[in-house]
Amino acid sequence: MSFTVRKDPRGVVVIGVDGQLIVGNRHELKQKVLEALERGERKLLVDFSNTGYIDSSGLGALVSLSKKIRESGGELKLAGLNEDLKTLFELTKLDTLFTIVESPEEAVASF
């Protein structure tokens, strides 16, 4: 389980979630996003292309980050969700709270 952070030439910070986003590593994701906000980044994308599973704590971490990013005048988008992950967002109605884009490339271009 790990997170990769890179900045796209178009100024979007892309955070990749490798493996799972769960109760055991959600704080690490929060820290990475908050560090980016502190550096002045305002366009953030979480890429789930290599993510197998998100638990309710991971969903909660995303909700809390989304609020913080919005309050800082930034924007958060999510991309690369597999069918299982999409189902989790739909069941919890979090698909109504987040901007979810099919591919990370599309998402970066859409900021």
Partner 1 sequence: MPAFDGELASLRLCLRRHPLGGQGGRRGVEIFLRVPTELDVVEEAVDLIARHCLALGLSARAARFNLRVALSEALSNAIIYGNRLDPSKYVDVRVLATDSQVTLHVSDQGDGFDPSSVPDPTLPERLELEDGRGLFLIRQLVDEVRFNDRGNVICMVLRRA
Chain residues binding partner 1 by CB under 8 A are 20, 22-24, 53, 55-57, 59-61, 63-64, 66-67, 84, 87-88, 91-94, 96-97
Phi-psi region for residue 40, left (φ > 0), alpha (ψ -120 to 50) or beta?
left
Residues 55, 23 contacting (CB under 8 angstroms): yes
Tokens for 66, please give them.
């989304």
Considering beta carbons, is residue 30 or 42 the nearer one to partner 1? 30
**Least distance (Å) from partner 1 to the CB of residue 29?**
13
Say if CB 77 and CB 45 are below 8 A apart.
yes
Q: How far is the CB of 55 from partner 1 (least distance, A)?
A: 5
Cβ proximity to partner 1, 15 vs 89, nearer residue: 89
